[in-house]
A = this chain, B = another copy of it.
Amino acid sequence: MGKLPIGNHIRKLRFNHDEMTQQQLAEKAGVTRQTIVALEQGKYSPSLELAFRIALVFASPLEEVFFIENKEEFI
């Protein structure tokens, strides 16, 4: 595993949601702040479950939070 480049809009979405802090997002998603930091920095991609939880926090479809970068190449 580890070929598809996955990006996310977490940082933008935090600011669009009342400037939610990393800490607040972490609490709402049920993870630690370090996990949010790592995700925003693209250090790794999360489990599907965590991805769904973050999308729930932002009340957005999962694919509006996480996406395949350069998707065209992989179709």
Contacts and interface: CB of A to CB of B under 8 A. Distances in A.
Interface of A: 1-4, 6, 30-31, 45-53, 56, 59, 61-63, 66, 68, 74-75
Contacts of A66: 48
A8 to B, nearest CB: 9
A24 to B, nearest CB: 18
A13 to B, nearest CB: 16
Contact of A52 (B31, B56, B68): B68
Given A47-B48, A52-B6, A31 B1 contact: yes
25 contacts: A1-B30, A1-B31, A1-B47, A1-B49, A1-B50, A3-B30, A3-B49, A4-B49, A4-B53, A6-B48, A6-B49, A6-B52, A45-B47, A45-B48, A45-B49, A46-B47, A47-B47, A48-B48, A48-B50, A48-B51, A51-B51, A56-B75, A59-B75, A61-B63, A62-B62
